[in-house]
Each structure stands twice: as C-alpha cells, then as structure tokens.
Amino acid sequence: LSTLSSLVLVVALQIVIAFFGYNLVQAFQRYAFPFLAVIFVSISMVILARLDLGTSASTAAPGSFGLTVAAAFGYVGGWNPYASDYARYLPKATNRLVAGLWSGLGLFVSCAILEIVGAASATVGMVGSDNPTETFTGQLPALLGDLTLVAIVVGGVAANVLNVYSGALSFLAMGVTPSVRFRRAVIALILGSIGLLVAWSGLDDAGQKYENYLLVMAYWIAPWLGVFFTDQYLRRRTRIDDLLYDRRHRNWAGPVAMAVGIVVSVALFGNQTDYVGIVPTLVPGVGDVTFLVGFAVAAVVYTALFKLARLGSVVRSRG
C-alpha cells in the first residue's frame, strides 16, 4: 500500500470505531491492550539492554531539551480537554481522587517509559534513514521490528478513537445540534474526515510536522490549564452546581485570560519551523518555554479578572 492509502485505511478504522461509540471503543481497547503491552515491554527490554550511557550530549542540549519537554507536554497535556466525558459513566459515589490518580498514572507511566526508551534508542546507534520510525525499528530484531510497526498502528488507533469520539461530544456540548439522527456519530465522521485531511497535509516531513503539531497543542492547552486550575483554586470552597446548569452563565474572564496567555507567550517565546518569537530569536539557546509562560500569564490574568468581576458583583448588589 502507498503511504496515503495506509493513512486512509487507519483513519477509516478510527472513524468506524468512534462512529459506533463508547462500547466499541472499550471493546477495541480491551483486546488491544495485551498485544500492546507485550510488544512495548519487549521493545523496552531490547533497547535498554543496549543502552550506552557514555554517549556525548549535543552542544545544543539546553534548547533541544526545552523543545523536547514542550512537545512531550503537548502530547500528555492534550488528554486534559479530551476524554473527560468518560467520567459520566462512573458511579456518582466514585472517589474523585482515585479516578484522577489512576488517569494521571496511566499517562505518566506509559509516556515516561516510552520516552526513556526513545531517548535510550538514540544512544544505541543510528540507522541511515530520515524516517524516525524506521530509525527506531531498525535497531530491533526483524520480527520484533515488524510487530512494533503493527503495535504503533494499533496504539495510534486506540488513542485516536478517543479523540474523535470525545471531540464529537465536546462539539455537541457547545450547543451545536444538527437536525439529523445519530448526531454524535455524524459529527464523529465529520471530525475524523477533517483529521484525515490534516494528517495528509503532514505526510511530507512527518517527523518535523508532528513536532510542530505537538508544540501548537502545548501553546493553547497550557493557558487553558492555567485558567482551569486557577478557577478551581479560587472557587475551592464554593459549590458551583448551579453554574453548571445555568445556561445564562457566562464567565468571559476565562476565554479572555486564555487568549491573552496564548498571544503573549507565542509572540515572545514561540519557537518552531513556521514562527520564532522575539526571545528565541535573540537567545536561541532558550528552546521553547511557551507553554510555561502561557500557563503563568493566563493564571495571573484570570485571577485579576475574576476578582474584578466578583468586586463588580458586590458593588452592583449593594447599589
């Protein structure tokens, strides 16, 4: 199969699973997990057994390290606004701390192990290829290398069906209600098709474009988290149940603070192929700390706007 044909086949599988919804998503992941666990544990053992701790670091390490951290954050942080709808299937009495702990550990353990293995593979020796996947699998025995390619596809499908399914629910939650039957399934089909077009545009130089994509994810998710966590802290002793069901409630401080965080952080610290901010231009070794700046700026702005809004409410109630 050609690269494009393979992409279409994988995306079609993702869309079909997301189209039929939660039960099929759960079933697919339940059967995919044992295969993925065996393959990735085997990969880890082979790569770590050949680890060379004496490999010298690059002279551009500080900036490169910052870019790597930002890209990793973009991947892991991307799960915060996605798949949260799964909580609606848990019993009301479920311990929130336990649910959050296991979700966090699932991300941390899987990402930490595979990122360590990925870093270790860079010390094993390079295979002459511009394709990062081919470089990685070229360090493995032939059969395990082939199974790794299958595992990458299966793992990608398992993760992306959540994105398509959850994205459809999030879209409908905004109040957009198409006058068609099976609205959630139809929206999943549309969003999956858009994802196909985006992926198609990135087939050329996929490694660099995927890194840019992860950085862009980090650029907006970090300010979003800054607003989210700050709001949680500021309302820590307040019940908000009434706000959740009040269709008239509008908290404009949130999107404003998020927008300010994105604009300021990207303008000053953005650092990728298509745009380099003011600070990295002047100090290239700084790498990419956009997500950290965006988080901090959004948190500070939201705190100020939140307190101003609350003060205004008090004044109006007295006046």
pLDDT tens for each residue of 266-303? 999 988 888 889 998 898 878 788 999 999 999 999 99
Query: Helix 61-77 and helix 290-318: axis angle, to 10°?
Result: 50
Averaged pLDDT, 153-170: 87
Q: Which pTM value belongs to this model?
A: 0.80
Percent of all residues in the chain with a pLDDT value above 90, rounded to a whole number: 30
Residue 276's DSSP bridge partners are 271
Averaged pLDDT, 48-60: 75
Q: Report the Cα–Cα distance between both ends of the chain, in Å, rounded.
A: 72
CA angle 13, 38, 30 (to 5 degrees): 45
Q: How far apart are CA 20 and CA 184, in angstroms?
A: 9
Question: Are 137 and 147 contacting, i.e. CB atoms less than 8 angstroms apart?
Answer: no
Tens digit of each residue's pLDDT (9 = 90 or more) over 101-134:
888 898 899 889 988 998 888 888 665 566 778 8
Q: How far apart are CA 70 and CA 116, in angstroms?
A: 16
Averaged pLDDT, 54-79: 75
Q: How far apart are CA 297 and CA 219, in angstroms?
A: 12
The overall average pLDDT reported for the chain is 84
Question: Are 223 and 257 contacting, i.e. CB atoms less than 8 angstroms apart?
Answer: yes
Averaged pLDDT, 148-157: 93
Please report which confidence band the pLDDT of residue 260 belongs to, taking 50, 70 and 90 as the band edges.
very high
pLDDT at residue 58, as a whole number: 63
Please report how many Cα atoms fall inside a 13 Å half-sphere around the Cα of residue 183, on the Cβ side.
11
Q: How far apart are CA 207 and CA 215, in angstroms?
A: 13
Q: How far apart are CA 106 and CA 33, in angstroms?
A: 13
E-state strands within the chain: none
Question: Are 78 and 217 contacting, i.e. CB atoms less than 8 angstroms apart?
Answer: yes
Question: Are 215 and 74 contacting, i.e. CB atoms less than 8 angstroms apart?
Answer: yes
pLDDT at residue 151, as a whole number: 94
Amino acid in the structure at residue 168: A
Question: Are 64 and 287 contacting, i.e. CB atoms less than 8 angstroms apart?
Answer: yes
